[in-house]
Structure 1
């Protein structure tokens, strides 16, 4: 079947090209053809992309595009897209996943340029497939903040989400991140995947606390994906009438009746309307 997006004479515009996350043999035929036909490649690190081009036997002009690229650089690339094929790549994997490429895509769309994507490798997706953790619902959260307070606050935002969580991490920070995740989320099942698609590919599974202990004195090398399983089903407490009434009174000390009833109903796995009615009676008796 002919390639409708990349023909022998590709349309001018922006081409978002996923590149290998480790093994250079993972480059797709369509991606290789697109790189060969580019007028310029906007690369996160031209030295890294040069290795891929050498592997493919290509010599294509490159220009840096990364976190520190300013509006002037974006504007110049968007201007070139009117007449030229501009290819956007990251150092590894799919551009825009934990890198600044979205600003260039947004600018290209605002200018009415042709924009297309060439799907391919992504470390986050590869990590999920290796982990064996639920993949029907997941959240990619990128890199957590460096500072402990900001990191804990960010983790707290995810605590109640019933989904698998995916993070990127570096070796020196790994143990501290795993320990912070265990503290903020509970000791969930997790996996640490690294060197994906390379010779020393590894995926270690276990609880967050066990993985934190494993890497505390042995930080690994390479690009790392941390996958954290969703929370287990909450088990409702059982209570007799006296315990239930005490819980309702306690909740009403700092909450309106409706909110107190909702919290107690959730805690004991009971009907919220029944608890609300009971709370009104207790409030009148107080």
Structure 2
């Protein structure tokens, strides 16, 4: 029996070291691994104690590899990349033409925009299977490989490391509510009349978003003061939309998610001004593209281009002004 195996603790230390070495930053490594900076620093320190040598020079905010660190980094990066490719290949079974496409998608976008259109995606693609997972964690190359995810759709400002990303649909935000809610509150004539308790929030529109970012982005464009604490917070935009639809208050709607409800009249815009969001919808994939990935990418662009035309036509019909911020 070969006892020279790597323990789970040692593997954890090595993965943290590898991330720090690639980014030359504890902060970026922590972001990739979805842990705190202090945790990454602690794991690297344990590895240095285990090896008996320093792996980094730390001078103030400056960070660089020692000679031993550089040697280990070369091996660790190659090893993790080889492992990532092997696991990803086994999970995807790329040799099969009928291998499924596993897509990780922001939940609200998946439910309200992607799902109603998904049959068009498969048109003319007999034998293709698509698995859609409603998820909103940050994507990274290693995580996608280990979980067998070939592509992702996220609503955020972008800036992914070691992944291909491209924006396929911009987003505009606007307060929405029901006609019945406005009828019960006839005193609401301007945004100043909206009490904080009437506001419905998506607590985390994207990873690392500041609190109330969507409401405050819209309010800033209106030259209005930031929102005060209050109202109800949800972890999904769709939940805030459901609350608005049931007359619970006023939600900050994303046009891609509330288009159908605005068009039907179930939701209305009490303040006819849409503001461009700080985030957009992005298609994310690994460095190596596949035919199915490329088909999805092209379909997203074509479908979103058609949606933009329909969206702009609706905004014009409703007399809604668009502001860039």
Same fold (TM over 0.5): no
TM normalised by structure 1 equals: 0.26
Structure with greater helix percent: 2
TM normalised by structure 2 equals: 0.24
Higher relative contact order (CA 8 A, sep 6+): 2
